[in-house]
Structure 1
Amino acid sequence: MVVAGHDLRQPLQIMLGAIEKIAPECRDESQLFWLSAARDAASRLNQGLTDLAISGHSRTAIIEMRDIPLAALFDRLEADWAPSAWQKGLALRFIRPSYLVHSNAALLLTIVSNLIGNAIKHTTAGRVVVGCRKLGHAIAVDVVDTGPGFGRELRDRMFEAFEKGDAKKEGLGLGLWLVAQSCRTLGHRVEAKSTPGWGSRFRVILPGPNLTDCG
């Protein structure tokens, strides 16, 4: 269910991005009406898939955990998000790691995907970089952007449900909440660090099976 939800959300994200791209070119009132209707319908469907994924997590008594090569995960994420970054004129860079991590593949994919989508959404110029590093006996997966950043007040509440930071932004503000809930389910830790005007870094800290190269 989680994998299917992710697979369906990615085309929806591309559809929404395309709608936003062509919206300024529409002048006819009828065209604007149907464009707005398409955007609202796609947004509701996206939210429904998110709710379905959350519901599936809560009903699952046992979460399958296994060793996952981060390089393969990054390949999938790059294929998913490269079009969205290109549409905004952003550089999306993945630093390919050679580490294994111990997690649930579908949930980890959803977690990092949400962080990348959030970074692309809030960054208007520059780049988004995805990489990882060792932290003692753990591994940190980082999503770093050159967006506007945020202050401590927002950092303390940004993982709450329906928190968008900027009320003018599209969406319902559930992406980071889903990240926090999924990390809690897996026993991972998520952190955020930012300086207003200088960008942000979101970090997921999770165990590595042996911290040795897998390739």
Structure 2
Amino acid sequence: MSQYGDDDQRFAFETLAAIGHGVALWSAEGRLRLANPAFRRRFDAFPGGLEDGIAQPLFLDAVERSGLIVSSGQPPADPLGPGDLLSGRTLIFSDGAIFTIDGFATANGDLVTLCRDVTEATRNARALEKARETAQQADHMKSRFLRAANHDLRQPLASLKILIYTCITALTDEERAQALHAMDVSVQIMEDLLGALLNIGQLDAGRVTPTIQTFQLSSILDRLKLQFDHQAREKGLTLTILPSKAAIESDRALLERILANFLGNAIRYTDLGRVLVGCRRHGKTLRIGVYDTGCGIDPRFHEAIFDEFFRVGGEQRDRQHSLGLGLNIAKRLADVIGHPVRVDSAPGRGSTFSIDVPLGDILYSNVGEPEINERIGGEFAGLACLVLEDDVYLRSALTALLERWGIRVLTIDSFDDIAATVGALEATPDIIISDYRLRGGVEGPDVVGAINDLLEQPCPAIVVTADTNPALIQSIRDQGYPVMIKPVSPPGLRVIMHNILFEPELVPEIA
């Protein structure tokens, strides 16, 4: 510093100290002349403090050996001078701070190093990039969802077309009744598919929460038989679904979706022979397998077939138009419910896709719908149900259904004067079924609460809604009302009515 006067030196120190960025002045030979406090604090890697006169290579070596810097960018190809090794670097410090180092030459040949804190700017840039990627991913997910919906809904829709023709041309009442029953199952399958596809759309967001319960596997196997039997016959295949009375622990809708994808793939890629669905116990689990005599899959593709949109080579070019989503959806759903998926296949030997499901205690299993219908047949006779539904067609259909069960149906047309309306009822209701959104912006739970305040003995209620928003559904349940999602399944409605009226301890919302 001898070439500078005392006043110059003092002025330089005061100026540099006032700068918020770290600043250091180096000689043309790369030795430190002076550094401001911000620079010294940032490079606090020297036991006795940073000394003037240290050469840049020794400075960098001491800083890197101290562990103060965890990442250091390379200097530019053409530095400003022989000692300007810092210029152009980006340094990441052990405390997470990110600094850029810029070098400037002075008129007298010295070099100035400017050390700028870009931590916040870098993090903001990364956040913007992540937001952009998230937006692109959401757009991609939307497109994938629409394709998946088209892909999966064509199956039961094709079944419906065939069944409608069968119903029209039926020669006997029994044949027509069977076709109508199969049509009803196809509609239920479409409803379940829509619900499952909505869940698929939420998988990437991590919002799919499985509902694990104990139930009998037969309820799924019977539906799979109805769903795929005609498709197998059209291809000249023999479809065998071995019966099982095993009770398992799983999510009923998601497991059915997985098995349906396995079964649909098996039929699609089998030209001759048979497709078999069977179960085998393995310790405390039940292995549910779908076996086919199809073309088979090379072992080198066994992992890749579960990737999105993956299809095996040109041999599938002439197959039914498949988007390669089925197995990907199945695998992702299996991961959600925690069930291992396996594949055993080789070219020319067919394929086996299986899933291992925990066995459940049959004493805690849900009773199948046909069994419930027989057990509670006639138990609603003589009861009164108040229906709060302002859609004329839905109210008419629900009224007809309840009356077939021997229930007296009461309705309310106006919600302006609840006290007068309740006083005019022909009977006191035993249960209330209410739509969530009623005419005039009125909410069903509020009307139910007002009605129960007027009744001498409040009655239980079910709230029905087409809104699948989890927060809304939970808010309704928090008010003590079980929720059913439209379109309402008659067997499901009958089960929940039975539980509410005769076994309320089974209904968590009112327990």
- Residue 133 (structure 1) aligned with residue 284 (structure 2): no
How far apart are the structure 1 equivalents of 2:239 and 2:232? Answer: 6
* Matched AA of 2:349: W
- Residue 78 (structure 1) aligned with residue 229 (structure 2): no
- Residue 87 (structure 1) aligned with residue 234 (structure 2): yes
Deviation at 1:176, TM superposition (A): 0.2
Deviation at 1:183, TM superposition (A): 0.1
* Matched AA of 1:103: S
* Matched AA of 2:357: L
How far apart are the structure 1 equivalents of 2:217 and 2:271? Answer: 27
* Matched AA of 1:183: A
For 2:232, what is the secondary structure of its paired residue?
A: helix
Deviation at 1:114, TM superposition (A): 0.4
**If the length of structure 2 is used for normalisation, what is the TM-score?**
0.33
Matches within 5 A, 1:39-78: 52-57=198-203, 58=205, 60=207, 62-78=209-225
How far apart are the structure 1 equivalents of 2:270 and 2:259? Answer: 16
Number of residues of Structure 1 aligned to a counterpart in Structure 2: 180
**Aligned 8 A contact 2:216 2:362 in 1:** no
* Matched AA of 2:253: A
Deviation at 1:14, TM superposition (A): 3.9
Match of 2:304 among 130, 143, 157: 157
For 2:266, what is the secondary structure of its paired residue?
A: helix
How far apart are the structure 2 equivalents of 1:75 and 1:103? Answer: 17
Decide which structure has the larger Cα Rg and report it. Answer: 2
* Aligned match of 2:344: 193
**Aligned 8 A contact 2:202 2:208 in 1:** no
**Aligned 8 A contact 2:199 2:208 in 1:** no
Match of 2:328 among 152, 177, 183: 177
Deviation at 1:111, TM superposition (A): 0.4
**Aligned 8 A contact 1:101 1:206 in 2:** yes
For 1:158, what is the secondary structure of its paired residue?
A: helix
**Aligned 8 A contact 1:132 1:141 in 2:** yes
Residue 135 to residue 120, structure 1, CA distance change in 2 (3 Å): same
Task: Give me the CA root mean square deviation.
Answer: 2.8
Deviation at 1:123, TM superposition (A): 0.1
For 1:143, what is the secondary structure of its paired residue?
A: strand
* Aligned match of 2:157: 12
* Matched AA of 2:306: F
Residue 211 to residue 155, structure 1, CA distance change in 2 (3 Å): farther
* Aligned match of 2:450: none
Match of 1:110 among 257, 274, 277: 257
Provide runs of 4+ in structure 1 moved above 6 Å: none
Deviation at 1:71, TM superposition (A): 1.2
How far apart are the structure 1 equivalents of 2:302 and 2:238? Answer: 25
Identity across the alignment (%): 33
Residue 108 to residue 118, structure 1, CA distance change in 2 (3 Å): same
**Aligned 8 A contact 1:142 1:204 in 2:** yes
* Aligned match of 2:359: 208
For 1:98, what is the secondary structure of its paired residue?
A: coil
**Aligned 8 A contact 2:343 2:351 in 1:** yes
**Aligned 8 A contact 2:237 2:274 in 1:** yes
**If the length of structure 1 is used for normalisation, what is the TM-score?**
0.75
Deviation at 1:138, TM superposition (A): 0.7
Deviation at 1:198, TM superposition (A): 1.4
How far apart are the structure 2 equivalents of 1:166 and 1:13? Answer: 27
Superimposed CA distance per residue, residues 146-194 of structure 1 (whole angstroms, 9 cap, x where no aligned partner): 0011111111211111112144132110100000000000000100001
* Matched AA of 1:133: R
**Aligned 8 A contact 1:137 1:211 in 2:** no
* Aligned match of 1:100: 247
* Matched AA of 1:204: I
How far apart are the structure 2 equivalents of 1:12 and 1:56? Answer: 24
For 1:73, what is the secondary structure of its paired residue?
A: helix
**Aligned 8 A contact 2:208 2:336 in 1:** no
For 1:206, what is the secondary structure of its paired residue?
A: strand
* Aligned match of 1:33: none
Superimposed CA distance per residue, residues 19-72 of structure 1 (whole angstroms, 9 cap, x where no aligned partner): xxxxxxxxxxxxxxxxxxxxxxxxxxxxx9675341145564532110121112
Deviation at 1:195, TM superposition (A): 2.4
For 2:304, what is the secondary structure of its paired residue?
A: coil
